Structure 1
C-alpha cells in the first residue's frame, strides 16, 4: 500500500500482517511489479480501499487506470481493520456544523451514509465473497454515556437516517449482546460487518475486470509534476498519467512530506479467538458488530467461523506493541468474563492516520494530483466514499470533492517532534473520562 513498506527480499512480496484475515483470505492472482514505462489516464498510489474505490469509479467510466502498491492489495489498514460498517465521520456532523457552520456541514451530511451503500452495491454487482452481514450496535457503559446514544439517534434521524432503536432494559440488552457491561444500546440495522481483506481482494478483482491494472511490489519513490505527471517506482518502473491519486494514508511515509506534516500514524490492536461455535452465538446473539461510544473505544464481532474478533486501544506514533494479546485480552475479558482461558489464535496491529481535527483530508497537491487521507479511525465507509468523490472530480464534477477539500488541514502543534506527546496527553484525559463513565 504505502511508499515506505518494509522491503521484502528480491522477487518476493511484503507479507500481510499475521492476522486472522490473512489466514482466511481467498487466493489472489499474481500481480507482478511494474517493469519499464507505461501510460494511463490515472495512476493511483496505494491498493487499499481508497485507491480501489477510486479505480473502480474511474474504470467504470472507461478510463485507463494503473494502481501501484508497494506490498500487496489490502496490506495496510484495508486488510487489518475491525471489519465494521459504521456511518458518518470520526467527528460527527454536529461537530462539523458547530465548528464550520451549516454551509460546510450540509453537503457533507448528505454523504454521511453513502459509504455503506457503496460497499453493498459493489459486493452485489461484482459478486464479492466477504462474509457481509447486516446490523451494528453502539454501546454505552453508563447512564451518562447513554445520553450520547440518544443524541446520536436524534442527529442521524435529523439527516434522514430512520430505523434505529434504543435498547436500555437489562434483559433486552443481553438478548443482543450477552454482557453485564453495557447500560444502553443503539441498534442500527444498516450497520454491518465483513471480512475486510476479502473485500479488498474482491474490489481489486472488480477493478481488473474493468480493465484496470494493479502492480504489487511497486513502491513509489517520487512523483514528477507537470501536465502529465510521471510516477516512479523503486524498481525503475514509470507511469505517465493525466492524473495521479495519492492514497497511501497511514503508510504513505515520506513520499509527500506536505501530507505527512498534517497527520500522524497511530496503531490499533486486534485479536481473534479460536472458533467458539454455539458459545460465540451465546455471547453475541444478534450477530451484529458492536462498538462502545468511549473516546478510546472497544469493538468486536463474530467472524463467519464464530471467532470473536476484538479490537481496541491506540498506540500513538504507530509504535509496534510487543504483545498485542496482552493489551487486548483484558479488554475482552472485561466485556466477556466467561472467556477466561479461551485460546487466542491471532493477534495483530495496524495503523490508521489521525488528523488534528479528526476530520478527513481531501485536496490537491497540483491541479492534476489528488490525495485523500486521515480518516482518524473511521475509514471503512469513508474510504469508499472518498474514492468515489475523487473519481467524480477527475471525471469533471468536483462539487462533492470540494465539499471535503474546503475543510481546513491543520498541522500538529510543535511539528512532527511534539505531535505524539501532545496527542497522547489529550488521549489520557479522555481515557480517564471513559473510566469514569462520563
Structure 2
C-alpha cells in the first residue's frame, strides 16, 4: 500500500509511484493546471512537449481520484447517440464530436505506445443488453453507425453470441466495438505523469488549491505556496467542490463502486469472458467488468449518490455480479473500492472557456479514460495552436442542475432511485 492512496486492486498492482513534492514557496509558469488526473496530465504533457512552462497542482496524489479507480474502458462514442447530437448542435458539430470520440481512443493508444506505458492495454469492448427488450435499440444503433457514419469497426452481437462469449444466460444481444480497448487505469495515469514530468512539466502533490484570481496574470494559492501563471486549466472533475462556483452546478459528483475477486483459474476466466474483452451492460446503473492481467474479475456495478460509502464495498457490489454469475458465489472478494466521477445533466462533457485565460474540461459521465485524455489535449491546443476543436465541445449546451449545487443532490438521488427500481424489475 502506497501512503496517500486508498486501498484498491489498482493501487496494489501499480507499477511504482512517482515522487512529487509539495508546493512550498512561490513559483511562476506559463500554465497552471489544477488536478493530476487524465485531463490535467494530458494537458501538462502536450503543453510541456511544446515548450511551455507547466505546473500541475494535485490536492492528493497523481491519479488518486477516478483516474486511478475506474473500470478502465476506452470506448468510442458518447453517452448520447449521433442523431441526438445532430438535433442539438447540427450535423457539422455532431460529426466533429463523433470523430473526436474516435480520435480520443486512438490518442490513448498512441500515448501508451509512444511513452511505453505498461498498463495492460487490451482490445475490445462489448455492450450487451440486460433485458431482451434492449436488443432492438442496441442493434439499431449499430445500423446507424454502419450506414450513416460509415463506421465499420462495430458489429451486432446476437443473443447466442453474447451468451457464448460471456458464459451466462442473463445477457442478451449487443454490439462489439473492435477499436475499443481496456487498461489498468492507475498505471495509465502514473505513466502519463512520468511522461509529462520527463517533458518538463512540474507536478506537485499534496498541494490543494485554496483559491485563485485570474486578472492579467493568474495567481493560484495553496496552503504553503502560490503559482503565478498566464493560464489556468481546471481539471478537477468530480473534486471541483466549491473552487469555481460559476461552473460547479454543471456537474454532480457520484461514486461508482468496484470489486476485484481473488485470482480465478484459466478455465473459469474462459467461461465468463472467453475473448478477454471488457463488457458494459444496458442498465441505467451500468454493470461493467473485465479480467485483470492476473486473472481476477474486476466488476463495477453499484453507485452511491449520497457521498457515503458502504461499510463493505466488495460485498455491496458482489450482489450485482452474482445476479449474472451465480456460480461465483464461493469466490473470495479481495478488494472493494469506489471512485468519484462527475456527471452532467445531459451526460455530455462540459468544456468551457470561463475567461480568456481560464479553461475547464469536466463531466465525462463515465467516458473519462478516452475523453478526459482528449480534453486535456484540446485545452493544450487551445492555448498553443487552435481552439477550434475545444470550441466544438464548448458549443454543446451544458445545462445547470436544477437548484444548482444546493438542490442537485436530492433531485438526482430521487431520479436515480427511480431508475434503480426500474433496473431491479428485470
- TM-score surpassing 0.5? yes
List runs of 5+ in structure 1 lacking aligned partners. 1-12
Displacement of 1:94: 2.3
Partner of 1:271: 259
> Could you say what secondary structure the match of 1:165 adopts?
strand
Partner of 1:18: 7
Partner of 2:37: 48
Distance 2:21 2:309 in 1: 29
Distance 1:364 1:319 in 2: 32
Contact 2:33/2:55 (8 A) holds in 1: yes
Kindly tell me: are residues 267 and 249 of structure 1, through their superposed partners in 2, closer, same or farther at Cα, counting changes over 3 Å? same
Contact 2:33/2:233 (8 A) holds in 1: yes
Displacement of 1:413: 1.2
Displacement of 1:277: 2.5
Counterpart pick for 1:219 among 208, 216, 219 = 208
Contact 1:14/1:71 (8 A) holds in 2: no
Distance 1:132 1:193 in 2: 6
Kindly tell me: are residues 60 and 161 of structure 1, through their superposed partners in 2, closer, same or farther at Cα, counting changes over 3 Å? farther
- Deviates most, 428-437 or 68-77: 428-437
Counterpart pick for 1:261 among 249, 257, 278 = 249
1:182 and 2:171 equivalent? Answer: yes
Counterpart pick for 1:205 among 179, 184, 194 = 194
List runs of 5+ in structure 2 lacking aligned partners. none
Partner of 1:249: 237
Contact 1:362/1:371 (8 A) holds in 2: yes
- Deviates most, 142-151 or 92-101: 92-101
Contact 1:277/1:305 (8 A) holds in 2: no
Displacement of 1:14: 6.8
Kindly tell me: are residues 169 and 348 of structure 1, through their superposed partners in 2, closer, same or farther at Cα, counting changes over 3 Å? closer
Distance 1:154 1:41 in 2: 47
Partner of 2:77: 88
Partner of 1:161: 151
Displacement of 1:433: 3.9
Contact 2:280/2:288 (8 A) holds in 1: yes
Displacement of 1:365: 2.3
Counterpart pick for 1:60 among 45, 49, 64 = 49
Counterpart pick for 1:392 among 370, 373, 381 = 381
Distance 2:159 2:63 in 1: 40
1:325 and 2:320 equivalent? Answer: no
Distance 2:138 2:350 in 1: 27
Distance 1:190 1:78 in 2: 21
1:289 and 2:278 equivalent? Answer: yes
Q: TM-score under structure 1 normalisation?
A: 0.93
Distance 1:397 1:66 in 2: 21
1:100 and 2:111 equivalent? Answer: no
Contact 1:223/1:229 (8 A) holds in 2: yes
Q: TM-score under structure 2 normalisation?
A: 0.95
C-alpha RMSD of matched pairs (Å): 1.7
